[in-house]
Amino acid sequence: MTYRELLLSLRRRALPILLASVLCGAAFFSVTAFLLPERYAASTVFCVRNRTGYEEGITSADLAACESLTASCITLMTGSEIMSLASESLGSMTESALKSRLSFENMGAGVFRMSVTDGDAERARAAALAITETSVLRIPEAINAGALTVIDGVSVTPLARPAARNAVIGFAAGLAVSVCFVIFLEARGKKARAARVPCEGKDGN
């Protein structure tokens, strides 16, 4: 099959291809928007400081030191000690399950956000509180930092569902499958027509 033949075939079937693509996009959108369970994120914003007080002001060296401590704090928060203590206080969540729900955002200058994602809002809040309380008590001593403080307490928000993105993915998937199906039909039809030609020639003789 030449490219010209393929393009002509796709053009003849443009409406069914477009219809199948739209239906796939609508199906992906509907599943994401209405059938998938709600997810929640419980977030806390921390601030780590390299010393307890800045009577003479905070310098660029202090800010750099605070920034370097952020990675250490995140490592310790996801470490076995903090995860074990937090999961014990929760009771209903294992250490590995708790760790898999964690995510972090480095906001610069020693400030970072920790988030716990879960399908239950209260469970996400409880997990974030458990990690926060354990971290504030244990981490400063472990990294010889001045202080690890909470500057924005635990807040729970529903996560946005990626319905629009999944609709585009569904449309693209439907388009690709439809085009492949048309190519398959054309190739099979061309093969069948080629097989009939010798038979018709023999019948004519």
pLDDT of residue 201: 54
- Burial pattern 28-58, b for ≥16 Cβ within 10 A else e, equals bbeebeeeeeeebbbbbbbbbbbeeeeeeee
pLDDT of residue 135: 92
CA distances, 31 to each of 26, 91, 162, 167, 175 (Å)? 9, 33, 11, 10, 19
End-to-end CA distance of the chain: 29
Write out pLDDT tens, residues 122-178.
999 999 999 999 999 899 888 877 889 999 989 999 988 778 888 899 899 988 998
Residue with tokens 């061309």: 190
Nearest to 45 by CA among 126, 142, 160, 128: 128
Looking only at the bridges linking them, the beta strands covering 111-118 and 102-108 are: antiparallel
Q: Which residues pair with 48 in a beta bridge?
A: 148
pLDDT of residue 30: 84
pLDDT of residue 13: 84
pLDDT of residue 185: 81
CB atoms within 10 A of CB 140: 19
pLDDT of residue 28: 86
Element (H, E) at 116: strand 111-118
pLDDT of residue 205: 52
How many residues are present in the chain?
Answer: 205
Positive or negative: CA dihedral 132, 134, 137, 140 = negative
Q: Are 78 and 102 in contact (CB under 8 A)?
A: yes
Q: Are 137 and 94 in contact (CB under 8 A)?
A: no
Spell out, as residue ranges, where the chain has pLDDT lower than 70: 1, 55, 193, 196-205
pLDDT of residue 134: 92
Element (H, E) at 22: helix 14-30
pLDDT of residue 94: 87
